[in-house]
Chain A
Amino acid sequence: MKILAHSYVCPQAVLLNGKPVSDLKNEENPFKSAYQQLGVDYPKFYKMDVLSKMAFIGTELLLPYFPEGIDQENDLQLIFANSSASQNTDNLFVESYEKLKNPSPSLFVYTLPNIVTGELSIRHKWYGENCFYVEDSFNPGHFSEWAQMAFDKGNKSCLCGWVEAKTDGEQECFLFLLTNSENADNSIELELSTLIKQYRNE
């Protein structure tokens, strides 16, 4: 297993393979600015929830690194996780019926964490396998296990993501693209824990 590329999106910055792509510190609407800097035309972006917006931006940056010669449409598995599920949108939806007395269907459809992988699949025409886990915290060992199991059953690459949008403001999206390289060392755990610490400035 090998990490081909990785990206990190948070309200302060966008990074690709450890290097800054966008500085968002002075932006009033950071994810909108980051999207505009991508130079892609995908108006659906504006209606997405924060989880999907971050994952959308992070994924666009990884596109040049997708391995050639694999059936990306069918053999790419998406493996995502976070600790708060769709908490941010859940609370907005509750507000829509408790305070505004009008349950919002456009919010309700984002009250599931796996909408993120749905949005990415729509954008990139990926028909492959999906799974969304809810975990206590980012766990490199678990991602490594899940990816290995995905490869064991025939998937050729995995787009993995830790994507969090809590109501109290904690927002981040760490994405990494994996391939089942036979020659490489199969343990990516150490590399992943180093990367997320660097991205979080820990």
Chain B
Amino acid sequence: MHKPVYIQYLSLVSPLGNTVEQHLEAFKNGVSGIKLTEKAGFQDTSIPLAKREGNSSNRYDTLLREALEKARQKLSSKLFENMAVIVSSTKGNIDLLPGDTFASTKPIIHEFFPKTDVFIISNACVSGVIAINTAADYILAEKYQEIIVIGIDAVSEFVSFGFQSLFALSNEACRPFDKDRNGTTLGEGCGIVLVSEEKVSESAVLYKGGSSSNDANHISGPSRTGEGLVRSIEKTFKRSGFTASDIDFVSAHGTATVFNDEMESIAFGRTNLNQVPLNSMKGYFGHTLGAAGVLETIMSIISMEHNTLFPCIGYCETGTSVPLNIIQRMESKEINTILKTASGFGGGNASLILQKLP
């Protein structure tokens, strides 16, 4: 890394609240956004979801506008002449089918940031981490001075029915890494961070490096050996100059499907991260797909800011062949360096490392 790259949070909207402070309270109190939701599944079955109130259509557009409004308030005193926006989303606004599901994204962003260059990354559940990595690449390439990264996905019957058809949904709130986990729980949210060449807010931490990889194994099933995730973590270590012993906290992907969490445990074992305090935030947010990487990065920055490890809610007992150091209760710990990982459909993996400012 040739020059510092900063990352700071701007906005966080999910069923847990509309502000960063509300999310901090929810995490401190172990509150989950997941509720059993009537008639949300195929043929009106009830499924657990982390869904915001209301059944409006265009949930994506509403969510995007709410989060952007809050982000713009934080930036209002600054004038950004050389800024771009990168959006991370798996589906965009699904209500726009049969047309282009991403057609509304750029016009909505331009309501708040007129004429800004907008890039959209749609790379399944690793989109959020890849979007932050790409923002840092752009800053290092000196193409832009600031990049707003937006991670967003909304709950939809399309995605719920799809996960049901794959038998990938849990019948209760999902239980990442637990012995009795039996699937994921879907959620929705929007998180916005600013990646910049200069420190812009008090929440700023340093972005130290990141990478992506592919399992080269299966389009919808995780690798049995964790090979892809191992390669991404190792590449990120190499690019950042860090090793496993430097990492104080791992924000894992942890979807709570049987095979995904098992794969991650093997990968963390192979990269000597199995002793490092680790959580999955899917028990709070559900799996927010394209938003997950950004939401969970924001909460990792908050963990660093408050020197607090948040528990992996839903987890009770070791349920992976490689035991991990899963955080079970809130504790204080000096957190200087964190690793965020993600894995998803299409065999994608991604990771990044953040460090507190000296």
Interface pick from A58-66, A131-139, A189-197: A131-139
Decide: A85 and B97 in contact? CB cutoff 8 A.
no
List the B side residues contacting A78 at CB < 8 Å. 214
Give the CA-CA distance A109 to B159 in the complex, in Å. Answer: 10
Interface pick from A2-10, A11-19, A23-31, A110-118: A110-118
The reply on A108 being an interface residue by CB < 8 A is yes
Give the CA-CA distance A82 to B94 in the complex, in Å. Answer: 17
Decide: B122 and A114 in contact? CB cutoff 8 A.
yes
List the A side residues contacting B269 at CB < 8 Å. none
The reply on A22 being an interface residue by CB < 8 A is no
Decide: A109 and B166 in contact? CB cutoff 8 A.
yes
Decide: B98 and A112 in contact? CB cutoff 8 A.
no
Give the CA-CA distance A51 to B211 in the complex, in Å. Answer: 25
- The minimal Cβ–Cβ distance linking A25 to chain B, given in whole angstroms, is 27
Give the CA-CA distance A119 to B166 in the complex, in Å. Answer: 19
Interface pick from B26-34, B134-142, B195-203, B303-311: B134-142
Decide: A121 and B123 in contact? CB cutoff 8 A.
no
Decide: B214 and A127 in contact? CB cutoff 8 A.
yes
The reply on B165 being an interface residue by CB < 8 A is yes
The reply on A171 being an interface residue by CB < 8 A is no
On chain A, the number of residues with a Cβ less than 8 Å from chain B's Cβ atoms is: 49
The closest CB in chain A to the CB of B138 belongs to A149
Set A74, A112, A127, A152: member contacting B346, Cβ < 8 A: A112
Interface pick from B183-191, B215-223, B293-301, B329-337: B215-223
List the B side residues contacting A83 at CB < 8 Å. 100
The reply on A91 being an interface residue by CB < 8 A is yes
Interface string of B312-330 (1 = CB under 8 A from A): 0000000000000000000
B256-279 residues with Cβ-Cβ distance < 8 A to A are none
The reply on A128 being an interface residue by CB < 8 A is yes
The closest CB in chain A to the CB of B162 belongs to A108
Interface string of A83-111 (1 = CB under 8 A from B): 11101001101100100010111001111
The reply on A174 being an interface residue by CB < 8 A is no
Decide: B122 and A132 in contact? CB cutoff 8 A.
yes
A-side interface residues toward B, CB under 8 Å? 74, 78, 83-85, 87, 90-91, 93-94, 97, 101, 103-105, 108-115, 117-119, 121-122, 124-136, 142, 145, 148-149, 152-154, 167
Please provide the 3 A-B residue pairs with the shortest distance between their CB atoms, ordered closest to farther: A118-B346, A108-B162, A121-B214
24 CB < 8 A contacts A-B: A74-B235, A87-B101, A90-B97, A93-B158, A109-B220, A111-B91, A112-B345, A114-B123, A115-B346, A118-B346, A124-B216, A128-B214, A130-B130, A130-B214, A131-B123, A131-B134, A132-B121, A133-B122, A134-B92, A134-B120, A134-B122, A135-B120, A145-B141, A145-B143
In the complex, besides A109-B220, A152-B137, A167-B98, 7 extra interface pairs with C-beta distance below 8 angstroms are A87-B101, A118-B214, A130-B213, A130-B348, A132-B122, A134-B92, A135-B120
